[in-house]
Amino acid sequence: MTGGMSMATVSELQVRRDKLLERLESLQTRVSHGDKTVQYDLSQAREALDLLDREIARNGGNRRVARHLRVRSNKDL
């Protein structure tokens, strides 16, 4: 796997996003065992999800198609 995501297709990015979202939803922010508690920061996972969303949008996911219409006429419009 390369360092950047620009070489991936939209469907590959979507698969990565779905897997990350599934993992993020299953993570817990706080875990306790006995008298010890650990607090996890999930901001990196959320940032990765945002990055994937931006990359999908940039590479054509749900992008609107821009169309240009050129009108030519011999009469004044």
More confident residue, 51 or 7: 51
What is the predicted pLDDT for the residue at 39?
Answer: 87
Domain residues of the chain, as ranges? Answer: 10-58
Q: What is the pLDDT of residues 48-66, one digit of tens each?
A: 999 999 998 888 765 555 5
Q: What is the pLDDT of residues 23-34, one digit of tens each?
A: 888 887 888 999
Cα–Cα separations (whole angstroms), residue 49 to 1, 23, 29: 18, 11, 17
Question: What's the predicted TM-score (pTM) here?
Answer: 0.58
Task: Tokens 């469907």: give the residue.
Answer: 11
Q: Determine which of 16-20, 26-30, 65-69 has the lowest per-residue pLDDT on average.
A: 65-69
Closest of 16, 12, 38, 15 to residue 27, by C-alpha: 38
Residue type present at position 45: A
Residue type present at position 1: M
Terminal C-alpha separation, the chain: 56
